[in-house]
Chain A
Amino acid sequence: MSARRTCHVVVLCFMLGLLVSQAWGQNLAVFPKEEILLVGGDFRLRSVNSNMAGASLLGGGESGGFPTQDGATKSFFDTRLRLYWDFRPSELLRVHYRMEIGDVRFGGSSAENGSDVTGNLVPVIGPGSGGGVGAGGVNVETKNIFLEFAMPFIPGLSFRGGIMGYGDRYDFNILADDFAGFQFLYNRGDVSAHFVYFRFFQGDTRNNADNSNWFGIDGQLQISEATRAAATFYYWSDQEHRGTLGFTPFQYWIGTEVTSRVTSGLGPIQVKGFAIYNNGEGFFGRRTGKNHGVNVSLAGDLPLNFGTVGLQVQYITGERGSKEQMEGGSKNGKNIGAWVSYFNRMYAGPEIISLGPIIDVGDGFSSKWGTGNGFYNGDYNGRLLAIARSAFPVLPSVSLHLVGAYDRAAASNVNGDHSRGAEFDLWAQWNIFPKLWFRFGGAYYLTGSWWKNNSDASFDGRRPGVPHPDNIWQFGTRLQYDFG
């Protein structure tokens, strides 16, 4: 027997022996029967009434809403069922599948483009389809399908791979959706960390998104009894576009976050603050040139005897002017001081500016829309946002929520305007039975001068804006049952 063959045999026998010993060591059957099946999901029925206009596919297909002039009212009901199956043959392994049927709409046909109030394209009881990764606008779709198991060698290390939901720890300011990729996760003691890789396919996050790669590493450490600190690095590379631009578009984000429970004279305050630096070059081929930006946020919530009150302030750097100046215009090829990200979802806040907590309609003003250049809505003028929020349990099963928000661009638009507006929200939640709840309320947004005659505030981000944008209102109800 040759040395090569001997080596192969030895290694094979060795590995075989180790596999058997490992299985024995785990006290598990080598081929366990998949007899544990968990099923769950949620059913939602909602109504939406709003005069918010939806962004157009012409601008890139992003969801998002904005004010228009004398805009039509959209009213409709829709329903949705989400189901999941969890196969757990052991504590160390699971296979997860999650699907969605809906949103199936009733009414609202006056919306010619078939979009809901945020611009998401939704068919009116359209034909069935499915299989798209995180796809929206179809009746049946796969949301998640992944495998997860504990890795050998290092206690606390696990692997997850497939199509899965992922969001950053910074209020989803950078990235949050369902993606295809894999994760290595470590969680033990005071340390929690993960590495993540995603492959962005055409249409994953927007209709004109390019094939590209996303890498991330995130870690957090408990530094005391009541404080944790975290740091994150994300890198996005679009090598597919190298040929058309002559360079590889990229973006990276470096973030840090501190979460703490701080003692005060009024009681413990739950504090969360973060800062993120972004730098890159090019973005989806809409412009050449470099960009850099900063996104900082500080939030505190104070539980009191009669409820909870909170305040959040966020500042995102921006650049003066308009997107037209940037896309092939006077700022093309220049280094601009604006923040770029995939998403900006300011949760735990206002309905219209943010992803709506009342009816869960979409991304509101905090998504990107129009130009497809990746700048979060604000737009590349940046944002100063202050949110005051509160929740009051008026009955054992009913809570009342009151929110106010002031919205201002960090840099002026092409007309020299900063003021974007102010929003007020009032909504209630009634927990009818365990896991069955009803939420209803409304929001009103007073549009500021930033929206007037602003080409950034149009269906595609290029047409002239309207001279007298409407104030925006949105009312809704949401009945939901969570099960499993």
Chain B
Amino acid sequence: MISAKLLLPCVVGMLVGLGYLACGVVPSTSQGRTLPAAGHRYGPTTPGGYYVRVEPRAVTMSQNQNPQVTVAVENTAGQPVDDVLVTFTPSEGMLTTGSSRTRGGTVVGTFTAAPGSDSPRTAFLVVAVENVEVTVFIDIVPVVFGR
């Protein structure tokens, strides 16, 4: 019989292990795979009646990085909608996309900060689908903090 002294580590080990296993074998939650949408869904838009999701909502980057922002457009049932126009308006720098209309329900944009602006600041990226506008706050931090 396992002593009480050993019981606790065993139980903790089992629980940790089971959680670890679950993360490893369940595709929807494993690392390296597309995460299920977790952010708030905004809408419906007018006139299309779409719902908009933006990920990530929080971006922290240094001047030399190029983070991606994914915009997903869905119908009421949560199904992806194609060929919907998505516009990006950054407060500084530029944002490039492969297509301005959704394919597979999404548009992916890549943000580039304004050149030479190495001071820490918050950039605003406005994502618009019809009449719904979602703002992504991009915290730009120095490449090197120390002097």
Chain A interface residues toward B at CB < 8 A? 3-4, 7, 10-11, 14-15, 18, 21-28, 40, 42, 63, 82, 84, 90-92, 98, 100, 120, 134, 136, 143-144, 150, 152-153, 155-156, 165-167, 169, 171-172, 176-178, 187-192, 220, 222, 225-228, 259, 261, 268, 270, 272, 301, 303, 347-348, 355, 357, 360, 362-363, 429, 431, 434-435, 437, 439, 480, 482, 484
Question: Given contacts A26-B32, A431-B115, are A14 and B17 in contact (CB under 8 A)?
Answer: yes
Name the A residues within 8 Å of B141 (CB-CB): 165, 167
Contact of B124 among A4, A172, A188, A261 (CB under 8 A): A261
Contact of B30 among A26, A188, A439 (CB under 8 A): A26
Contact of B24 among A26, A84, A176 (CB under 8 A): A26
A-B interface, 3 closest residue pairs, ranked by CB to CB distance from nearest = A189-B38, A25-B24, A165-B145
CA distance A227 to B64 in the complex (A): 26
Contact of A11 among B10, B55, B126 (CB under 8 A): B10
CA distance A7 to B8 in the complex (A): 11
CA distance A82 to B135 in the complex (A): 33
Residue of B nearest to A19 (CB): B20
User: What 0/1 pattern do residues 35 to 67 of B give for CB contact below 8 A with A?
Assistant: 101111010000000000001111000011000
B133 touches A225 (CB 8 A): yes
CA distance A128 to B142 in the complex (A): 25
Any A CB within 8 A of the CB of B91: yes
CA distance A190 to B54 in the complex (A): 9
Interface residues contributed by chain B, number (CB under 8 Å): 55
User: What 0/1 pattern do residues 118 to 142 of B give for CB contact below 8 A with A?
Assistant: 1111101010000011110101011
Contact of B121 among A11, A21, A347, A484 (CB under 8 A): A347
B144 touches A82 (CB 8 A): yes
CA distance A120 to B146 in the complex (A): 12
Name the A residues within 8 Å of B118 (CB-CB): 360
CA distance A82 to B144 in the complex (A): 9
CA distance A272 to B118 in the complex (A): 19
B122 touches A482 (CB 8 A): no
Any A CB within 8 A of the CB of B21: yes
Name the A residues within 8 Å of B37 (CB-CB): 189
A153 touches B20 (CB 8 A): yes
Name the A residues within 8 Å of B135 (CB-CB): 225-227, 261
Any A CB within 8 A of the CB of B85: no
CA distance A294 to B38 in the complex (A): 36
Distance (whole angstroms) from the CB of B55 to the closest CB of chain A: 8
Contact of B120 among A90, A171, A191, A360 (CB under 8 A): A171
Question: Given contacts A82-B143, A134-B146, are A156 and B35 in contact (CB under 8 A)?
Answer: yes
Distance (whole angstroms) from the CB of B140 to the closest CB of chain A: 10
A150 touches B122 (CB 8 A): no
Any A CB within 8 A of the CB of B3: yes
Question: Given contacts A25-B25, A259-B122, A429-B116, are A3 and B145 in contact (CB under 8 A)?
Answer: no
Q: Which of A4, A169, A188 has the most CB of B within 10 A?
A: A188
* Number of interchain pairs (Cβ within 8 Å): 170
Residue of A nearest to B144 (CB): A143
CA distance A70 to B63 in the complex (A): 39
Q: A92-B32, A155-B31, A222-B57 are in contact. List 12 more A-B contacts (CB 8 A).
A: A4-B3, A7-B10, A15-B17, A22-B20, A23-B24, A98-B143, A165-B142, A167-B142, A189-B55, A259-B137, A482-B63, A484-B64
Name the A residues within 8 Å of B121 (CB-CB): 347-348
A169 touches B139 (CB 8 A): yes
Name the B residues within 8 Å of A84 (CB-CB): 143
Residue of A nearest to B20 (CB): A18
Any A CB within 8 A of the CB of B98: no
CA distance A196 to B40 in the complex (A): 27
A177 touches B10 (CB 8 A): no
Any A CB within 8 A of the CB of B77: no
B31 touches A100 (CB 8 A): no
B144 touches A192 (CB 8 A): no
CA distance A192 to B91 in the complex (A): 22
CA distance A189 to B40 in the complex (A): 7
Residue of B nearest to A150 (CB): B31
Name the B residues within 8 Å of A98 (CB-CB): 143-144
A167 touches B120 (CB 8 A): yes
CA distance A355 to B100 in the complex (A): 39
Contact of A152 among B31, B116, B137, B147 (CB under 8 A): B31
A28 touches B115 (CB 8 A): no
A120 touches B147 (CB 8 A): yes
Contact of A190 among B10, B32, B40, B142 (CB under 8 A): B40
Name the A residues within 8 Å of B147 (CB-CB): 63, 120, 136, 362-363
